[in-house]
Structure 1
Amino acid sequence: MQLSESSPRPTASVRWMMRSVTLWSGFVFVHAVLITLCLTAPGWPLGDVEGVYLPWAEHVAAGVAVPGITTDFVYPLLALVPIQAALVFGPALYSLAWLGLVTLVNAVAFLFLLRRRSTPRPARAAWWWLAFLLLLGPIALARIDAITVPLVIVALLGLRTRPLWGTVLLTLATWVKIWPVAALAALFVVSRMRWRVVAVAAGVSAFVVTIALAFGSGLTVFSFIGAQTSRGIQIESPIAGIWMWQAALHLPGSFVYYDTDILTFQVVGPGSAVVGNVLTPLLIIGVGLVLLVGGLAVRRGVAAEVLFPSLVLALVLTLITVNKVGSPQFITWLAAPVIVGLALHGVRWRTPAILALVLAGLTQLIYPFLYDLLLVANPLVVLVLTLRNLLEFVLLGWAIWSIVSARSDAPANPQAPRPDSSDLSHLSQQSPLTKE
């Protein structure tokens, strides 16, 4: 039966409720699919959870060793918090507890996103995040990065109204996995409260280090820094393509091997050791250049709200592309800046949003479904990996161009229409994202 013309339309509260039910239904569906994939997909998606995190948690519980305190740790110290928390129901239920913990943290971030009244387009960003998670597959839940991504999403959204608490959360996330330092660096560049940001981040870090020292860690609390720089070239990093193609073409001297110390698959070949040693300094230089580009945009008078998401995206992609370490979970990092960009600027972030979805889909195709073929350098799978890595550079190019082309009186995309004043009217006077 069709409604008559006189039938009342749903009120705003009813529409909001219907939209919320639909979004949360999508959240439940996506996470149910991801949990099922984690438990059933080939390639042992829960390998790190069951084979690495669980032994660490059991050692801590038994008093055998505490990573980051009594033994070297590949992650910053606070990574132990979620790793240990998942042991709450015992070793037999560790994987399910981990998946439940990640789902819970995602739910908190999802709720925070939808309730952001200062964010013009939360529903669009929420739907994109669900699509991104579904395309990325089980790796979206089955690594320590899955804890940091929702923390960073909440922090970036909260910076507009609670800048110091947002900085605290970003710093804590950095002490779980190092990549959120990119958001802290971007915040320092664009914020008119930059030295307060530094003070807060330094204070939180000092607190973490002091606790570690009180437990007798010594310099072991910083062992994660050396663990990263001493790695070889992982097979999924962009630079690894040089030797992965040589291995795929059966050229002598290039092959994939498993590093039993760092527990990753790496590639070696002519010149790989030299390139591996040079790449870390190049990464530092690359980050510095991106920060310089962002600083110049600030000097031109580009609004912080326009600049910040693009700068975070550019820094995150620099950490991914100019890096000898390459893992499928790195793609999860893209979610935070893209969600903020979509929530604040909508259609002007359509290009990076689409590219990130494609990157997520290709990543799931590679891991876990084609990973066994990648380990033997199957040419077709190496081609898929090469395409994925090239698209990372394309997205990096977009992010840098959006910074360079931004003007003080225009949005980051010069071909896009100017934002409505209402898009900017929600900024708090105390927000670090307010232009000086």
Structure 2
Amino acid sequence: MTDGARREASAHRLRRFLGSRAALWTGFALVHAAIIWLNLAAPGYPLGDVTAVYRHWAENAAHGWLRMGIDAPWVYPILAFAPMTVALAFGSAWYAQTWLAIVTVLNALAFGVLIGRAGLSRPRRIAAWWWLGFLALLGPIAFGRIDAITVPFAITGLLWAAGRPRVAAVLLTIGAWIKVWPAALVAALVIAVRRRLEVLTVAVSLSVGILGVSLLAGAGENAVGFVAEQAGRGLQIEAPLAVGWLWQIVAGSKSVRIVYDRQILTFQIDGPGADAAAALTTPLMALGVLVVVLIGIRAVRRGAAFGRLLPPLALSFVVVLMLANKVGSPQFATWLAAPVILGLVLRPARFAVPALVAASIALLTHIIYPYWYGWLLIADPAFVFMLTIKSLLLVVLLVWGIRSLWKLGSSRSQRSLVRDVGAVSTTMDLDDN
């Protein structure tokens, strides 16, 4: 055998290994081990919210002193308390490790659904490797907030949306009652799926049940207190709308400064127009969501196939929530994983651009937080520039998503509808995987 033939044979064996479940699960273990180590050992206090805030809330409830969301208003929906409490299972000293184990187990379940049990298709391999790369680029924040609990629910819900829409509705609704953002995926599902009444009934019934249990526990109006708590926030420095004020600080403005809100535990903008901008985010978000809803309905009415519609629709909803958000915390980048993974499973070539953009957003997020976050807190020009690029990349994702939705109603999309239906139905039938 010639040297060229040997190299070709070695490359072939490597490609076969990388496409195997053994390689994927090895990659999963290595990436998760690295992120766990970073959360426990890296500088910048990456698990600060988990160990200093979540654990405090959980311990107060365990001692019967104060149950957040029941005895007092809370910034999160009521089900967020479940993983925070479960993380106390092995005692307060092991709270961080237990939290990281919970996230890893949930990710493993979603990863198992992604790669399936039957033949491992090329799109699923691509999506699985992309997710692992995305997590590695995003770093500690991928695990270190309550959002990490909701991402596996969102991924699994979207992957099961075609074959098991009611189960998908359950998973996404549970996710929304942990952290609100998966509600956008419920909306996307209601628009895209034919059995929308079933999905809506499941989501509403489950929500009523969760609210009912909260009221029976004595929550009263605190059961929905997270709505008012979010509305009362100021403009956080990571929010896309805050970029203009950060550049004013860079330019030497004395009227704009970064302050710490001890009630919400966030760094916010204090300066002319900042409060007005924060108040503007809610109607701006509502308007953005309405635009996506209308364009999505337009695509449905013109016969867009479910598998072609759901990925860009879900992505557009998620990006609207990120762009028109007064908070803009670094963990919000985790939200991008679910719609991008779905898009890579269904249409890998088409979703190459948003996959690359989302990965770039993850990398920029990791550079900014947690290791060198202090530089952003003093409005260092380089870090304000990176935050600006990150915000512009979110705009790129939204433009891509809206453009894709709009084109679904065109004559060209209608001509390709029949071709795509067969491919999508084969890819989305997860009951066989």
Structure-to-structure mapping, 1:117-196, within 5 angstroms: 121-196=123-198
In structure 1, C-alpha distance between the alignment counterparts of 2:52 and 2:274, rounded to whole Å: 28
* Post-superposition CA distance 1:360-405 (Å, at most 9, x none): 0000000012210100111111111111111111111111111111
Contact between 1:348 and 1:413, CA under 8 Å: does it hold in 2? no
- What residue in structure 1 maps to residue 95 of structure 2? 94
**Structure that is richer in helix per residue:** 2
Q: Size of the alignment, in residue pairs?
A: 422
User: Which secondary structure does the structure 1 equivalent of 2:392 belong to?
Assistant: helix
Contact between 2:19 and 2:125, CA under 8 Å: does it hold in 1? no
Q: How big is the shift at 1:357?
A: 0.5
**Structure 1 pair 165/335, CA: closer, same or farther in 2 (3 Å)?**
same
Structure-to-structure mapping, 1:20-419, within 5 angstroms: 20-115=21-116, 121-407=123-409, 419=420
* Post-superposition CA distance 1:149-207 (Å, at most 9, x none): 01110111111211111101110110000000111111111122112211111110011
Q: How big is the shift at 1:406?
A: 2.1
In structure 2, C-alpha distance between the alignment counterparts of 1:275 and 1:30, rounded to whole Å: 39
TM-score, normalised with respect to structure 2 = 0.92
The residue type equivalent to 1:269 in the other structure is G
Q: How big is the shift at 1:425?
A: 3.6
In structure 1, C-alpha distance between the alignment counterparts of 2:289 and 2:414, rounded to whole Å: 20
Contact between 1:79 and 1:144, CA under 8 Å: does it hold in 2? yes
Q: How big is the shift at 1:316?
A: 0.2
Q: How big is the shift at 1:407?
A: 4.2
In structure 1, C-alpha distance between the alignment counterparts of 2:391 and 2:255, rounded to whole Å: 23
* Post-superposition CA distance 1:28-70 (Å, at most 9, x none): 1101111111112221100000111000110010000111111
**Percent of matched pairs sharing the same residue:** 45
**Structure 1 pair 2/386, CA: closer, same or farther in 2 (3 Å)?**
same
* Post-superposition CA distance 1:228-275 (Å, at most 9, x none): 111000000100011111112220210001100000111121111112
After superposition, the CA RMSD in angstroms is 2.7
The residue type equivalent to 1:107 in the other structure is A
Contact between 1:116 and 1:122, CA under 8 Å: does it hold in 2? no
In structure 2, C-alpha distance between the alignment counterparts of 1:154 and 1:148, rounded to whole Å: 10
Q: How big is the shift at 1:421?
A: 3.2
Moved more, 357-366 or 113-122: 113-122
The residue type equivalent to 1:241 in the other structure is V
User: Which secondary structure does the structure 1 equivalent of 2:389 belong to?
Assistant: helix
In structure 1, C-alpha distance between the alignment counterparts of 2:414 and 2:248, rounded to whole Å: 40
In structure 2, C-alpha distance between the alignment counterparts of 1:278 and 1:229, rounded to whole Å: 11
Q: How big is the shift at 1:324?
A: 1.0
Q: How big is the shift at 1:127?
A: 0.2
Contact between 1:279 and 1:323, CA under 8 Å: does it hold in 2? yes
Moved more, 76-85 or 241-250: 241-250
